[in-house]
Amino acid sequence: MTSTGQDSTTNRQRRSRHNPHSPSHNSSVISKRGVKKGAVPRSSPSLAEVKKKGRMKKLSQAAEQDLIMGLQELDLNLEPKALSGTGLVFEEQLNEFHCLWDDSFPECPERLHAIKEQLTQEGLLDRCISFQARSAKKEELMLVHSLEYIDLMETTQYMNEAELRILANTYDSVYLHPNSYTCACLASGSVLRLVDAVLGAKVRNGMAVIRPPGHHAQHNLMDGYCMFNHVAVAARYAQQKHDIQRVLIVDWDVHHGQGTQFTFDQDPSVLYFSIHRYEHGQFWPHLKASNWSATGFGRGQGYNINVPWNQVGMRDADYIAAFLRILLPVALEFQPQLVLVAAGYDALQGDPKGKMAATPAGFAQLTHMLMGLAGGKLILSLEGGYNYRSLAEGVSASLHTLLGDPCPMLESPGAPCLSARTSISCTLVALKPFWEVLMQSAETLEEDCVEKDKEEGPWEPPVPQIMAWPMLCARTGLIYDRRMMNHYNLWDNHHPEMPQRISRIMCHLEGLGLTERCLTLPARPATDAELLTCHRWGWNHLTAHQCSSHASSAEYIARLRATENMKTRELHREGANFDSIYICPSTFTCAQLATGAVCRLVEAVLAGEVLNGTAVVRPPGHHAEWDAACGFCFFNSVAVAARHAQAISGHALRILIVDWDIHHGNGTQHIFEDDPSVLYMSLHRYDHGTFFPMGNEGASSQIGQAPGVGFTVNVAWNGPRMGDPDYLAAWHRLVLPIAYEFNPELVLVSAGFDAAQGDPLGGCQVSPEGYAHLTHLLMGLANGRIILILEGGYNLTSISESMAACTRTLLGDPPPLLGPLRPPLSGALASISETVHVHRRYWRSLRIRKVEDKEEEPSNSGLVTKKEPQPANPGSAKGMARPEENILEAGMGKATSASPVEESIPGQAKSEIATVELAKDKSLEGTTPYIFPRNLIESLRTLELSNKTQAPDSQTPEEKLLGEAAGGQDLDDSKLMGFGDTDEATFYAVTPLPWCPHLTAVCPIPAAGLDVTQPCQDCGSLQENWVCLSCYQVCCGRYINAHMIQHHEDLGHPLVLSFVDLSTWCYHCQAYVHHQALLDVKNLAHQNKFGEDMPRPH
């Protein structure tokens, strides 16, 4: 049977195609399988003899040499010169400023005092490489900020308290001190110092423990405790001085870093990812640009990513889900050369402003995930965090992780909540047009009968976790014994499972100096009692069937032991009784030694002798059944090791077994299929049941048996050519979400490398770098307790390179950089989808689907949704903003706000609501729901002003800390308003801000007045023109040639007036503004446009 290529597979074909029934588990049936291991489809004639004779042709010397040269050309980065060390900048001088008029202000020196005490107590200061802080130069700050703004901040050194307070009150949520400027320059310079150290190869990664924070600071604006935007300056500095082309900025502060977003939202060289509290715009900074719909502008579309949390109490599982489903896939496609983190810790449990429930252990996980990017070039810059204890513990946890310590286990990881899954879904929808890895969603199958998610009950803070960091003598254990080479094929010197497999691996590890970095452990044979444990179910009793199986297993062990004294002909006959097996006189001893070696490594890990380990053993084991050899395997080493771990731990230790061998581990699956304490996950070639071990045992429909239902997870590839993108997609979408929800205490990997590029049996394309990344991601689980056990892999070069890459990763080296990744194959996504579809009922972490309302508006891509109006309570803007209630926002942040959508008549009362009616375009029915904004503008029919009054404001005000609402807006004034009981599509305008801190930039009207018919000074366009209220130059809007946006970028002038509707837009606030200071210029424009004064409210 010829396998069907995965690219032509459809959902209907997958559902209708017949799968052969699985054979029974007894040896008599197993030995009668029609295809031996190592057989390939007839479409591969060069390997036809493998199927006929059970062996493969030896690769020609030329082919082998070509393969070696090809692998050497890869950027494997396997030379023993990996950087080590974590840089730390901690400057006491940064404590020399505080709020002069409010001793209780949350951004205070005590924050750094608490951090220093924690780091000293845990000995982290001595473990880091300290760097002296330096002041950022003006020209460095000017990479992000205007010279006028920097000069203004510099003058604060000479102001008295009254003057400082007056200036501070012109901004939102800031205070000023005579030392603020000096300290802000030091803070920015501290991050630049680490950029030089990391990119100059002095340290691997680093952290700047600094204040004041920076991510709210804008081009010429203080905001939210921030004066200069440290990570933004660092990104530009890395690009300018170190020729870095791509920078990833991750912002996990609980507040949206609008300053960073506005700096880069048109720049495709910087990918900005922010995960923050939003609550439908009710949480500071109250910007629509903080929502998931803000994806960037122009060439920067898709490079701005917001994950907005719309409720408090978000936990580690929510943050981890966002990283797995959004950040990591996009980041791997983006391929950053440097990762900067705006590391605020105000999302930690106990923070008075964030009110979230993340833990320090959770932030350790996030840090670990980011360490797999950019070759490990990662810098954390402290932002917020206002509970001293949680702040100190959060910084400590991240620093431990940067230093290579294992991530602590999560106390109660669970699964992401419904609100988190909704936010993630919305962000995925907004980003899908821009990233190939997101183009095809894994969840495309029709809905099954999954029980509907129930709303979570009231949030209750968990008990604070006591952090514990293991003290290890050695990091990675290595176990190997030459005696395992004594198992060989007496009749075929070129059988793929040859002794040289392990010797070549060890030679390569030694050549790279990796064996010297590991703790070499002596191997021992497994005892009969250990071998028999894999047939025991439970701890106190065995069923009659299991007793029979236990007895037959004992007979099976005796039968294998008897082969030590058999003659050659008897050995051949005995091997023929099993499927794809050869036996020699040393086979039993080698198999016993291989299994015992893994058990010894398990003992070392559980005893804290080592953190993790690699077992270079043979023969392999994952095909071995309860009482039968199969597929080159005799004893199931991984299964026995799992049972041994549970026995020595004294309880049903939660164990995750990940099997990435290209062949399905039928034996391991059968041993644990009714055991919920062992989660078995296999990724393998299935080819609709035609790939070894044949039948439907490896199908996605195989989920285990009660009480182990859901604890067998199969990702069944239905064709060859699977590579790094396909395995990583499975990791992000399936393997890791389930693994984190399971929360294992030990991870065992059946590490077959026959999916590696160049393997003669697998036909796949996983690279050594790819295996390193898979290993790194698994290392975040189980407190870092992970063991790799060699299974298959039959190209001596690729197996050696792959195992070396994994071992280096276990030793703590960052995974090598991946080359440019193609999108996951459609067949791979189909296989992942099938498994997700099957397991959604068992694992809540998989229930991230497309939002039910498919008419979201990805605003920044320039698309506006044409949709039937939804009934809405005009007084309930909150109800209109919840995707889970199928009423998505019609005004999406900066893109729609900046477009010339009509605003209410100047001077209109705040309670009035502005709506824009669009005639229903019958020609678009049944086609795409999106139309371009320019077409929308041309289709505008009427501007209807409703005089209905809003419902009374029912919001609960936040704590009124100094400056928190200085000049702040009434929240309801920025919400979307409108009515849905019409037959036409309705679009809602945003009621403008009643004030903004940039009104001081408005200059007097020129003596020549205004001419609303004046063309754009750059292109001569007469459509959609705006006038700058600082210099009164006229330029066209974003949907013509965007010359006004360019004007703002060049000169920093914030406020502009539309000649179309006389609305005023502030680029810094990303909002419309209506204020008394604007009435004169608006009235003059109205006179010029209509020949009369504009109407005034009564």
Active-site amino acid positions: 216, 623
Residue 447 backbone phi and psi in degrees, to 5? -65, 145
- Answer whether 425's CB lies under 8 Å from 883's CB: yes
Instruction: Give which of 381, 796, 786 is closest to 613, Cα–Cα.
Output: 786
Burial class of residue 789 (count of CB atoms within 10 Å of its CB; 0-12, 13-18, 19+)? buried
CA gap 703, 840 in Å, rounded:
12
With tokens 């493998």, the residue in question is 50
Tokens of 974: 């920025």
CA gap 160, 722 in Å, rounded:
67
CA gap 161, 178 in Å, rounded:
8
Cβ neighbours of 559 (radius 10 Å)? 17
Instruction: Give which of 263, 277, 255, 201 is closest to 230, Cα–Cα.
Output: 263
Cβ neighbours of 536 (radius 10 Å)? 17
Please, what sign has the CA dihedral across residues 1051, 290, 875, 958?
Answer: negative
CA gap 643, 949 in Å, rounded:
69
Host H or E run for residue 342: strand 338-343
Residue 394 backbone phi and psi in degrees, to 5? -65, -45
Please report the DSSP string for 504-530 in residue order.
Answer: HHHHHHHHTTHHHHSEEE---PPPHHH
E runs forming strands in 996-1054: 1025-1028, 1034-1036
- Answer whether 741's CB lies under 8 Å from 415's CB: yes
Residue 730 backbone phi and psi in degrees, to 5? -65, -40
- Answer whether 831's CB lies under 8 Å from 444's CB: no
Instruction: Give which of 291, 250, 262 is closest to 427, Cα–Cα.
Output: 291
Tokens of 84: 């080590």
Phi-psi region of 664 (alpha: psi -120 to 50; beta: other; left: phi over 0): beta
Instruction: Give which of 415, 1058, 1010, 1028 is closest to 738, Cα–Cα.
Output: 415
DSSP state of 276: E
Q: How far is CA 1048 from CA 142, 630, 1035, 1036, in A?
A: 16, 70, 10, 12
CA gap 842, 836 in Å, rounded:
10
For 354-417, where are the alpha helices, taking DSSP H only? 360-370, 388-402
- Answer whether 611's CB lies under 8 Å from 476's CB: yes
CA gap 309, 301 in Å, rounded:
22
CA gap 265, 296 in Å, rounded:
5
Host H or E run for residue 916: strand 913-918
- Answer whether 347's CB lies under 8 Å from 356's CB: yes
Residue 313 backbone phi and psi in degrees, to 5? 80, 15
Instruction: Give which of 726, 612, 614, 595 is closest to 662, Cα–Cα.
Output: 726
Cβ neighbours of 641 (radius 10 Å)? 31
Name the 3-class secondary structure at 476: strand
- Answer whether 689's CB lies under 8 Å from 724's CB: no
DSSP state of 888: -
Residue 471 backbone phi and psi in degrees, to 5? -100, 110
